[in-house]
Amino acid sequence: MSAQEPAVVLQEMEAAAEQQVEHSSKREGRLFLLLSIFIGLISGLLVVSFRMAIEWLTVLLQGSAPAPHQLRLLIVPTVVGVVLGLMTRYVFPDVRGSGVNQTKAALYIHNGYISTKTMIGKFLLAALSIGSGQSLGPEDPSLHLGAGVASRIGRYVGLSRARMRLFGPVGAAAGLAAAFNAPITAVLFVIEEVIGQWTAAILGSIVLSAVSAVVVARWFWGSQAMFRVPNVNLRDPRELMAYAVLGVIGGFASLALTRALEYLRPRLRSLPADRQVFAPAVAGLFVGAIAYLGLPQVLGVGYGTMDAAMHAEYTVGFLLLLAGIKLLTTTFSFSSGAPGGLFAPALFIGAMLGSAVGTFEHHFFPSLTGSVGSYALVGMGVFFAAFIRAPLTSVFMIMEMSGNYTIVLPVIVSNTIAYIISRSLQPVPILEVFTHQDGLYLPSLEEEREDTELRVEDALRPADVPVLNGGEMLKELSESAVASVVLIRCSDGWYAARQTEMQDLLQAAQINGDKTLEQSVAARRTPMLFPDQPLAHALPYFKNWPLLPVSNRAMRGVVEGVVTLQDVLDRYQQ
């Protein structure tokens, strides 16, 4: 056996082990895709049941036609609030809030673990909370329920820890897709706000689960859009100014809700335990009193009120009153710890503001062609983009919820303005504010999107190492080439050889001098990097290679430079 052969055999054994691990990973990946479909189906059924439970409890507790001065509107939210406070305190302590941050905490802290007890509690108490009239919505809890389904199934089949951390977002997308009847919206929100980054495999699993959940939801609810408005024909460019004004109004209004929640929520959570129990009851009494005195529209989700606003059934003054009161009731309901989400209240407030702007425009500028319904829809997207800070999700959400793709230009204009205002005046997104209030430090995906990522070109240095031709004979190898790391240009790529390996080759030249360098080195080739790739992409390769060649994408055979592990570490420490 020649001197260099033990090193070559060792490298080949390492390559075989890596191939075995890769094969196992692919097999688990195929199982992951199949389970994603199953998760979507189960999550869809669970969310459909959840929505039916809310509708049934709403009729049971509020009556079929809630109207002012009905005593039940005052009593029911208060009594149910007592039940919610006791249950969240002593039985289901992890079901408070919307569920978005709980899902992120499960992903980043608990390796994707969400207990079955939490799922049961979320289903029962969120349905009871919303059905009794608390000013909250079902979409965020649906996301949490879907993530819980994924966690339960993942544990049952014994997935690895890495896969378990990815299973939560897959279930979250399924739950949200079924709640909105909108798969694209769910996929984008999970990518924007839950995982932040994705690969083709993760995206495929999320899409499969979301589509599967929507298929189930549409089996029960049909495929029609949640809201219907006429197509938008922007014949007069001045109308974009009205949508821009709506963006400004929505941006500042979202700031008001954010600041209100930021102020009240920690104060209620800092109360003694025996007093925190009654916070949902006080919030229920507040919401119920407003409904009793004349505004039952603020109870619960409010989809019917949104639809009425889209069809111009309210005056400007009443629309603004509804938006302001909904902001207050949502602040009290959510801050009290009652289970329920913020998505529906955000859409409600946005719809009222948009309808008010549209009604005002039609009164004073009748020559403009936009319908009140289109302004209400855009207002929903505006407030969602500014408050939840998911601008891309909000655009597709409005298009999917309305089935109206001609509305995309007004939505983009308004949402961008609202998002910029919110981002400038409230640097910390509301969901991140909640995590800090809870003593958690989950990753800020908005900040991660804003961060400048280091690239390979930032650590690149000239190729100051010897470069040898792979066709060169071993007997022609000079001792000067053995003094350092060497790059060997092979017919099928590059090979970076360490000094010890070159010394072995020099000794082997005495026995196998007629062999070429390319024939003498291992079959594997050193990975080629490109200047625009993330710098972190290089780190895993240094386990096997002393340096990595960097090539221009337009001239792949030409080495622009090299990077070593020390180069990468030095660049990160600058």
- pLDDT tens digits along 435-456: 889 888 776 666 666 667 788 9
Q: Helix 161-180 vs helix 391-402: angle between axes, to the nearest 10 degrees? A: 40
Of 525, 555, 524, 528, the C-alpha closest to 456 is 528
* Domains of the chain as residue ranges with CATH: 24-221 (1.10.3080.10), 239-442 (1.10.3080.10), 456-572 (3.10.580.10)
Q: What is the model's pLDDT at position 253?
A: 96
pLDDT, tens digit, 9 for 90 and up, residues 310-331: 888 999 999 999 999 999 999 9
Closest CA to 306 of 222, 203, 384: 384
How far from chain centre, in Å, is Cα 492? 41
- Looking at residue 21, its pLDDT comes to 43
Q: Which of 371, 380, 372, 327 is nearest to 351 (CA)?
A: 380
Report the pLDDT value the prediction gives residue 62, as an integer from 0 to 100: 93
Reported as half-sphere exposure (CB side, CA atoms, 13 A), residue 99 has a value of 35
Position 449 scores a pLDDT of 62
pLDDT of 306: 93
Sign of CA dihedral 51, 136, 345, 270: negative
Instruction: Tell me, rounded to whole angstroms, the distance of Cα 165 from its chain centroid.
Output: 14
CB–CB of 379/350 below 8 Å? yes
Q: Is the pTM of this model over 0.85?
A: no
- The list of the chain residues with pLDDT below 70 reads 1-29, 196-201, 230-231, 233-235, 369, 443-451, 479-483, 509-513, 556
Separation of alpha carbons 388 and 254, rounded Å: 9
Residue 364: per-residue pLDDT: 83
